């Protein structure tokens, strides 16, 4: 069965960096895109971008350029989200989500359990 | 960017029908997906391509899409259906490419 297992909660100080991992199993990792979705406390879902698991090419949504980096280690079927120069407003749950659906009708068919990143001094 | 608007909340008695709308400009020309998110849990896909159900999702969940409104319908509502629900579309001309609705909290009375 498809599973996406994310790393545990993180507590960081402003200005620090964090790296969240998402380990996939139950399918061929390079056959599906991997997306990242943010959910701030009490707020809705916000798509951050995706990474092509074949080429490693990332695409970032508006508002997620500069401090956010998507990467892969295909040898262990794992995607990573790194956030640098953390700010208090980065406090959120971050989800990885597998890209599903046909062309021009994409969705997220499987999700990781989420990683809470808290930024506080 | 493309905007999807949902009512903040819907209340429904057990056994009744809940309807959650998702409004967007000419949304009927796009494929709409719906996610259920229970407190402290990750979202789960419950409807894709407007009206298809993934395996394991009860037949009580159905969807439709036409004009400027897509609708998620939950029939014979149960206490376990209490959750936040989000619609989502993919729009190649938008940034972001994937757009989520504002979310609807379904409360079972």
pLDDT tens-digit profile of A35-66?
999 999 999 999 999 999 999 999 999 999 99
| pLDDT band, residue B64 (cuts 50/70/90) | very high
Distance of CA B2 to the CA centre of its chain: 16
Mean pLDDT, residues B88-100: 90
CB-based contact A70:A22 (threshold 8 Å): no
pLDDT digit of tens for each residue in chain A (121 aa)?
Answer: 999 999 999 999 999 999 999 999 999 999 999 999 999 999 999 999 999 999 999 999 999 999 999 999 999 999 999 999 999 999 999 999 999 888 888 999 999 999 999 999 9
Whether A45 sits inside 8 A of B92 (CB atoms) is no
Q: Which residues contact A28 (CB under 8 A, 6 or more apart)?
A: none
Q: Which residues contact B100 (CB under 8 A, 6 or more apart)?
A: A44, A45, A46, A47, B4, B86, B87, B88
Residue B95, pLDDT score? 81
In a mutagenesis test of the A interface, which of B35, B42, B91 is the best target, namely the one with the most A β-carbons within 10 Å? B42
CB-based contact B69:B27 (threshold 8 Å): yes
User: Which among A47, A105, A113 is the nearest to B100, CB-wise?
Assistant: A47
B-chain CB neighbours of A101 within 8 Å are: 31, 33, 48-49, 90
A-chain CB neighbours of B41 within 8 Å are: 113
Measure the CA–CA gap between B41 and A36, rounded to whole angstroms: 16
B-chain CB neighbours of A97 within 8 Å are: 43
Interface of A with B (CB under 8 A): 35, 44-47, 49-50, 59, 61-62, 95, 97, 100-102, 104-109, 111-114
Residue B43, pLDDT score? 98
Burial of B32 by CB count in 10 Å (0-12 exposed, 13-18 middle, 19+ buried)? buried
A-chain CB neighbours of B97 within 8 Å are: 47, 50, 59, 61, 106
Distance of CA B37 to the CA centre of its chain: 10
CA-to-CA dists, residue A38 to A100, A117, B8, B24, B29, angstroms: 18, 10, 19, 22, 27
Residue pairs between chains A and B whose CB atoms are closer than 8 Å: 72
- Which residues share a beta bridge with B2? none
Residue A104, pLDDT score? 80
Q: Which residues contact A111 (CB under 8 A, 6 or more apart)?
A: A4, A37, A95, A96, A97, A98, B42, B43, B44
């Amino acid at each position: 069965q498809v599973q996406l297992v994310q790393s545990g909660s993180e507590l960081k100080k402003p200005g620090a960096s964090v790296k969240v991992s998402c380990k996939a199993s139950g399918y061929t990792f390079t056959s599906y895109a991997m997306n990242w979705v943010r959910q701030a406390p009490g707020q809705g879902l916000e798509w951050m971008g995706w990474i092509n698991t074949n080429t490693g090419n990332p695409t970032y949504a508006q508002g997620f350029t500069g401090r956010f980096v998507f990467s892969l280690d295909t040898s262990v079927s794992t995607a990573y989200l790194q956030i640098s120069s953390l700010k208090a407003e980065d406090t959120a749950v971050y989800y990885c989500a597998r890209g599903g659906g046909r062309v021009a009708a994409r969705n997220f068919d499987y999700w990781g359990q989420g990683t809470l990143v808290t930024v506080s001094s | 960017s493309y905007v999807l608007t949902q009512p903040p909340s819907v209340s429904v008695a057990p056994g009744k029908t809940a309807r959650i709308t998702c409004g967007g400009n000419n949304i009927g020309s796009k494929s709409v997906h719906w996610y259920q998110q229970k407190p402290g849990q990750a979202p789960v896909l419950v409807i894709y391509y407007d009206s298809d159900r993934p395996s394991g999702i009860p037949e009580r969940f159905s969807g439709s899409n036409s004009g400027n409104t897509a609708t998620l319908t939950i029939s014979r509502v149960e206490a376990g259906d209490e959750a936040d629900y989000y619609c989502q579309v993919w729009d190649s001309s938008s940034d972001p490419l994937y757009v989520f609705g504002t979310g609807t909290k379904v409360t079972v009375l």
